[in-house]
């Protein structure tokens, strides 16, 4: 298998997070271009460590990691910048700049990473703004946005560079179900249109309309289950059954570092 066939590849990756203090051990993971991968797990399970590694600020303690065919720990700063421009990222906090309008937040990555004419930039931005029904808030500052509006602005900002894949870190939690269904439907169509994949962390399985998701359940810094939505429903894996059915099982209720 060629490295370039996958968006993300981990081979026996172990990593001690300087942020959470959590140890992740021997993570092996292939997420192909165009895939939808949902990383599940309780608090302190280790899925957040994957997000830290994807950010490029830390390198694995051991094992091999590649992002779009490259090892971020071995590349120079210029290539890393280009690599980051091929990844759209949406965090739980959105990461919107408070003294910029919604429109200015949306176009910032394109201005930083691409050389588009004013007309091209405006056309691309306005296309996604219309897709996510944000015309009425383009001049608003982030603090004035409703929760779903802030999420949609962050998603458009992630999509506007036409990335190879989008990473969404716990950003879908706690939203109105009607808004979420519409957002996920639109997102799926837009990912299909540009051939991009999706990697997201969540506390609950998410149904991406029209796409088959691959699920990875983390616990104790390891992957304890991997499979499709059908596998998730039908498995007798003790971790999955406890997590989804809220029964007794091998995982404690609270994370204790």
Kindly give the interhelix angle for 118-131 and 147-159, rounded to the nearest 10 degrees. 140
In a domain, 124, yes or no: yes
In a domain, 220, yes or no: no
pLDDT at 257: 67
In a domain, 148, yes or no: yes
Structural domain total, the chain: 1
pLDDT at 111: 87
In a domain, 141, yes or no: yes
In a domain, 252, yes or no: no
Sheet with 62-67: list strands edge to edge. Answer: 23-32, 6-16, 62-67
Range of 119's domain? 97-162
Read off the pTM: 0.90
The runs of H, that is alpha helices, within the chain are 47-54, 77-85, 102-113, 118-131, 147-159, 177-194, 229-234, 238-245
Per-residue pLDDT of the chain (257 residues; tens, 9 = 90+): 444 467 899 999 999 988 888 889 999 999 988 899 999 999 999 998 888 888 777 889 999 999 888 887 777 777 777 777 889 999 888 899 999 999 999 999 998 877 889 999 999 999 999 999 999 999 999 999 999 999 999 999 999 999 999 999 999 988 899 999 999 999 999 999 999 999 999 998 988 887 789 999 999 999 999 999 999 999 999 999 999 999 999 999 988 76
Distance CA 65, CA 173 (A): 28
In a domain, 116, yes or no: yes
In a domain, 91, yes or no: no
pLDDT at 245: 95
Distances (CA, A) of 54 to 57, 97, 179, 213: 8, 21, 28, 20
Q: Residues 17-37, buried b or exposed e (16+ Cβ, 10 A)?
A: beebebebbebebbbeeebbb
pLDDT at 3: 44
In a domain, 145, yes or no: yes
The two beta strands, 213-219 and 36-40, are parallel
Contact 63, 11 (CB under 8 A): yes
Rg from Cα positions in the chain: 18
């Amino acid at each position: 298998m060629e490295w370039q066939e996958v968006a993300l590849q981990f081979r026996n990756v172990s990593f001690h997070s300087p942020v959470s203090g959590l140890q992740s051990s021997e993570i092996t993971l292939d997420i192909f271009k165009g895939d939808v991968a949902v990383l599940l797990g309780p608090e302190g399970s280790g899925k957040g460590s994957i997000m830290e590694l994807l950010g490029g600020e830390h390198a694995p303690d051991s094992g091999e990691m590649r992002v779009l065919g490259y090892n971020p720990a071995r590349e120079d700063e210029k290539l890393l910048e280009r690599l980051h421009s091929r990844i759209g990222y949406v965090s739980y906090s959105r990461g919107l700049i408070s003294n910029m309008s919604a429109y200015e937040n949306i176009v910032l990555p394109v201005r930083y990473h691409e050389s588009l004419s004013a007309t091209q930039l405006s056309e691309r931005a306005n296309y996604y703004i219309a897709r996510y029904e944000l015309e009425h808030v383009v001049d608003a500052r982030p603090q004035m946005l409703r929760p779903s509006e802030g999420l949609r602005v962050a998603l458009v900002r992630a999509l506007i560079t036409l990335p190879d894949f989008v990473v969404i870190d716990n950003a879908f939690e706690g939203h109105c179900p009607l808004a979420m269904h519409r957002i996920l439907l639109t997102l799926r169509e837009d990912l299909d249109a540009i051939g991009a994949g999706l990697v997201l962390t969540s506390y609950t399985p998410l149904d991406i309309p029209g796409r088959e998701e691959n699920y990875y359940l983390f616990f104790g810094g390891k992957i304890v289950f991997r499979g499709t939505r059908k596998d998730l429903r039908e498995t007798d894996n003790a971790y999955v059954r406890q997590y989804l059915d809220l029964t007794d099982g091998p995982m404690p209720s609270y994370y204790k570092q």
